[in-house]
Amino acid sequence: MNSKFLVLIMATTLLMPFASTAVAQPEPTLPDWKLGIFYEDDESTPFMVENNGEVTLDFWIDNQNPYSIMLELEYEVPWGAKNNGEGNVSLDSGENVTYSLTISDIDVFSIAAKSEEPFTITATLQERGGVPAMGLEQPKEVSGDLEIPEIFDLKIEIDDPLGPINSGTEYILKVTVSNEGNSQDKASEIEVTDDCPLLTTDDALQAITSRTLESGAKTEANLKISASESHPSRSCKIEVTVKSNGAAGTQLSTDNTRVNIESSPQNQDDSEENNDDENESPTEIVSSNLPAPGLSIIFSILIGALFSISSRRF
């Protein structure tokens, strides 16, 4: 009896390694289909949305099944955006297909710069080899992040004058700079130009360059213009240009207005006098080319007159 028990123990000892090997061996995996996204760098790098509110990315589906498959694709995108993704797709056995997905209608100007939100692509098996899947297989999904870009967009606006101004006087124009981008910004430079040499402007607008504007904020300053007393009646164009500091001066905004200058009454009177002087008729001097009478003729006339008087007396 003891010998049989000993033999049983020895047999068990010899078979144990084979038993452990059989338990540890994983079950063979069957061919399957896979879903993935092409990232620009790696999975941690978000896809940057363009300034027009669109972003395009590529994803792939690889079917290693021995049968064809049909999948239903669904997309979850942030910020109420739209997409042009495929609905149902079919792949043959061994086929690997790349799809392009465009996410659009993102209002990048109303969303804070550098904001990130995820998107998700979900694929659900509908058929395998033409046979309905009956919902027995779990859907597969992949996801990534979208990032809102920094947009620098300063706008400038000049109030039009209420009416003409007289030469020799001053006038104030209100100038407004607004930040219509989605990021903090300020004006790096403001330039004022005009096309009238006798019109001058002050540098009061330079104060705007020291003011930081949050997205949606605006600031104002007054531009003083001075017309020289000798300024003639003329329509003068005044133009103001602002440069964005955030965009390193590459984003410009320009606005202009026209100021009608009317010359002063004194200048008009002087002008009329000059015109009158120019319109006066010149005095005409008439000269003759006939020779002047000689002395002998004068004496002859006097002697004849004396004889005439004497003869009348007698």
Residue at a domain's end among 92, 115, 147: 147
Q: How far is CA 248 from the centre of its chain?
A: 13
In one-letter notation, the amino acid at residue 22 is A
- pLDDT for the residue 98: 97
- pLDDT for the residue 285: 38
CATH number of the domain that residue 134 is part of: 2.60.40.10
Residue at a domain's end among 147, 173, 195: 147
- The number of domains in the chain is 2
Domain contains 285: no
3-state secondary structure of 208: helix
- pLDDT for the residue 207: 96
Q: Which residue has the tokens 């992949």?
A: 142
Q: Is the domain of 98 the same as that of 142?
A: yes
CA distances from 135 to 3, 22, 125, 127 (A): 59, 33, 7, 9
Q: Identify which of 90, 110, 116 has the alpha carbon closest to the alpha carbon of residue 33.
A: 90
Q: Report percent pLDDT > 90 for the chain.
A: 69
Domain contains 14: no
Q: For 202-261, what is each residue's pLDDT tens digit? A: 999 999 999 999 999 999 999 999 999 999 999 999 999 999 999 998 999 999 999 999
Q: Is the domain of 162 the same as that of 143?
A: no
Q: Identify which of 146, 150, 148, 149 has the alpha carbon closest to the alpha carbon of residue 45.
A: 146
Q: Is the domain of 104 the same as that of 176?
A: no
Please give the Cα distance from 148 to 117 (Å, whole number).
Answer: 9
Domain contains 275: no
The residue ranges of the chain whose pLDDT is under 70 are 1-30, 265-314
Q: Is the domain of 171 the same as that of 260?
A: yes
Domain contains 277: no
Q: Is the domain of 69 the same as that of 124?
A: yes
**H/E run at residue 257:** strand 252-262
3-state secondary structure of 38: strand
- pLDDT for the residue 6: 53
> Whole domain around residue 105: which residue ranges?
33-147
Q: Is the domain of 158 the same as that of 143?
A: no
Residue at a domain's end among 220, 237, 264: 264
Q: pTM of the full predicted structure?
A: 0.68
Domain contains 298: no
Residues 6+ apart with CB under 8 A from 31: 64, 65, 66
Q: Is the domain of 131 the same as that of 178?
A: no
Domain contains 179: yes
> Rounded to 5, what percent of the chain is helix, strand, coil?
20, 40, 40
Domain contains 162: yes
Domain contains 223: yes
Q: Which residue has the tokens 């990232």?
A: 39
Q: Is the domain of 126 the same as that of 56?
A: yes
Please give the Cα distance from 125 to 36 (Å, whole number).
Answer: 15
